[in-house]
Amino acid sequence: MLKSVFVPIHRAGWPFIAIFAAIAVGMAWVWPPLGWIGAILTLWCICFFRDPPRVTPLRDGLIISPADGVVQLIDRAAPPPELDMGEEPRNRVCVFMNVFNVHVNRVPIDGTIAATHYRPGKFFNASLDKASEFNERQSLRLTTVEGRDIAFVQIAGLVARRIRCDVAAGQLVKAGERFGLIRFGSRVDVYLPDGVEPLVVLGQRTLAAETVLADLGGTEPARTGEIR
Catalytic residues: 186
Give the contacts of 202 (CB within 8 A, at least 6 positions apart). Answer: 71, 72, 73, 74, 225
Instruction: Give, as one character, the DSSP assignment of residue 60.
Output: T
Give the other-Cβ count within 10 Å of 120's Cβ. Answer: 9
Structural contact between residues 40 and 21, judged by C-beta atoms closer than 8 angstroms: no
- What is the torsion angle, in degrees rounded to the nearest 10, for the CA atoms of residue 194, residue 200, residue 201 and residue 206? -130
Give the contacts of 18 (CB within 8 A, at least 6 positions apart). Answer: none
Structural contact between residues 158 and 185, judged by C-beta atoms closer than 8 angstroms: yes
Using the CB atoms, write b or e for 41-71: b if 16+ within 10 Å: ebeebbebbbbeebebeeeeebbbbbbbbbb
Instruction: Give, as one character, the DSSP assignment of residue 79.
Output: P
Q: Which of 174, 215, 172, 176 is nearest to 55 (CA)?
A: 176
